[in-house]
Structure formats: C-alpha cells, structure tokens
Amino acid sequence: MAKFLSRDINLMEFQISHSNKQKLKPFYDDPDSMLPDVEAYASWLHPSALNSFDCIMKEAKGKKVVVFLDYDGTLSPIVEDPDKAFMSTEMRVALREVAKQFPTSIISGRSRDKVKEFVQLNNVCYAGSHGLDIMQPPKSRDKKGNEGAFQPAKLFLPAIQEISMELEHKIRETQGSKIEDNMFCISVHYRQVPPQDQGNLKEKVKSVVENRPEFRLTEGKMVIEVRPSIEWNKGDALNYLLHTLGFSNADDVLSLYIGDDQTDEDAFKVIAGKREGFPIVVSSIPKETKAWYSLRDPSEVLAFLLRLAKWNKSQASFLQLDYI
C-alpha cells in the first residue's frame, strides 16, 4: 500500500490491474428478494452487536474510539430510487452526538458531495467513491477551515466522464435503468429494470469497459459499478483516515466499522487483521462476511449509535466522580 508521506501521492505508486477476487456469496441467490429467515438468522455465528454491546465496549475502556460507517443500507434504508435514500432525523441526531464524542467518518460508494448533502453534518468526515475521494477530517483542516481532498484516482476523471457519456447512450432505452455519477465511480442501478432485461443491461455495461483495462466492474445490491483498477478500496481509505487522524501507529485505538455492502468487506478485513477494533455487518439474512458482529438493519444501527453516545457520557461521568 502506498505510504502517506504527503497529500500529493504519485499515481505511479499504485498498481493498475484488474481485480478477479471472487465475490462472497450469501446463503440465498437473491437476498433482496427473500424475506428474513428467522431460524437461519438465529443460528448465525455472528452475534448481535446490540446484545454484545457491553462486551464490545469493555474492550474500549482506556482507548480512543474511532467510528466508520457506510451510508446506504446502514445509515439509510435501501430504496427503489437512489436519489431518495434519505437519512431519518433520528439517525442524524444520533450520528451528530456520536461525532461530537468520537472521530467519525462515512465511507460510501456515492460521491462525497452527495453523501454530505444527505447527512447534513459538518463534524463528520466524508469519503466518497468507495474511498477514492476523501475529505480531510475536521481536526486536520487548515486554519481557514478548508476541507481539501485526497483523490488517488484523480487522473482517471476525463476517462470516467467519457465512459459515463457512453453508458448514457448505451442504456438509455433500458426501462428502469439509472446512471449515478459518483465522481470516481459510475453506478448503474437496475433495481427497477424488469428481470428479463437485467442480463442484457449488464452485458451493455460490460461492453463499455471490456476494452479499457484501466477500469473494472464490481457489483453491489442491484447495482453494477465502473471503477478505476487501482489497488485502492475502503480498507485503504480506513487506513488513510487513521493516519490522517494521527492513529496509524497508536496501540490505544479501537475502530468500529459498520457497513452492509460487499465493498465494506475490505474495511472489515483491515480491522480484523489488526485486531484493534470490531467490524460489524448490517444484514437481515445470514451471509459470508469478515465481520465479527451484526446488526439487522438501519434501525438497529440507530440503536447502537445511541448506546455508543450514552456509553461515552457515562464513562465521562465516572471519571469525574473518580477525580472528585
């Protein structure tokens, strides 16, 4: 992985290659079309992060807690129209309270500006395009408050814009398809495309990228994405943010990462490998994951965040009593 010696990183340090990693498969072929299997979920080996909250936070005592979250499916529900994935007022209040007490970052596949527009909080760090567009954490900005940004794929922008225009032309007649420009990632949503047309849509997207080895395709929940083929993912973004916050070499840091998407698995892997935090997957069904704990849906994420904020306040109260 590239060393973060400065904010201007030479793209030659990144290896450009296709990623042929096999996608982790859930127990069901189409999770979005299945109702939660209560019995299967109950037998899942990943305990509830809510039920295990006290156990998790026992490890956090005396450490600096850092919070990382995905957006869609974690802070907001998955919806038919990606432009309407609004966060609830309750979630915003809880997130604001958590961010007041812990360094908090959102690492999303959407564009950084779009996530910030949804969240509407200034005390949160935003990383868009699966970590390819990272704003500086609030405490790391200059004296004028300028955000700045780390963009390891900046040189790919002209080609990305060209691909976006070609995709618009290719799939414009496919009913229900929607292209979302996420700056360094082009997302083609097909949740509203008739099932019989989805295979043809995917082939059209593949045809645009097949002769461009500097780009690759990844799939998420009813979405296929075009991304630069550089070796950079949400796990790298997590490491970069920890470094920027001054925690890269600290042994008293505990990271909490909550996410529901396949791309979050890269961040789960980093935290699990370091054994300095807890990866938490959001899923209403059992599935293969590198996470250690689980939450069923955004409503349980909300409950977890509320408990986290309350826990920190109680710790502060105990410290004050001890001091007195």
Catalytic positions are 70
Q: Could you give the CA distance from residue 96 to residue 136 in angstroms, rounded to a whole number?
A: 18
User: Which structure tokens are listed for 232?
Assistant: 């950079």
**Host H or E run for residue 188:** strand 186-189
Q: Return the structure tokens found at 110.
A: 């959407």
102: left (phi over 0), alpha (psi -120 to 50) or beta: beta
77 close to 321: Cβ distance less than 8 angstroms: no
Other CB atoms within a 10 A radius of the CB of residue 14 amount to 18
Dihedral of the CA atoms 83, 88, 91, 97 (nearest 10)? 100
Sign of CA dihedral 147, 153, 156, 160: negative
What's the DSSP call for residue 72?
Answer: B
Amino acid at 287: K
Instruction: Pick the closest to residue 112 from 83, 66, 149, 146 (CA basis).
Output: 149
| DSSP state at residue 110 | S
Under a CB-based contact definition with an 8 Å cutoff, are residues 124 and 118 in contact? no
Residue pair 23/262 in contact by the 8 Å Cβ criterion? yes
Residue 136, token pair as written in the block = 């500086």
Residue 262 CA to residue 221 CA, distance in Å, equals 9
Q: In what order do the strands lie in the sheet with 293-295?
A: 149-150, 133-135, 125-128, 104-107, 64-69, 253-259, 277-282, 293-295
User: How far is residue 263's CA from residue 187's CA, in Å, rounded to a whole number?
Assistant: 13
DSSP character at residue 129:
G
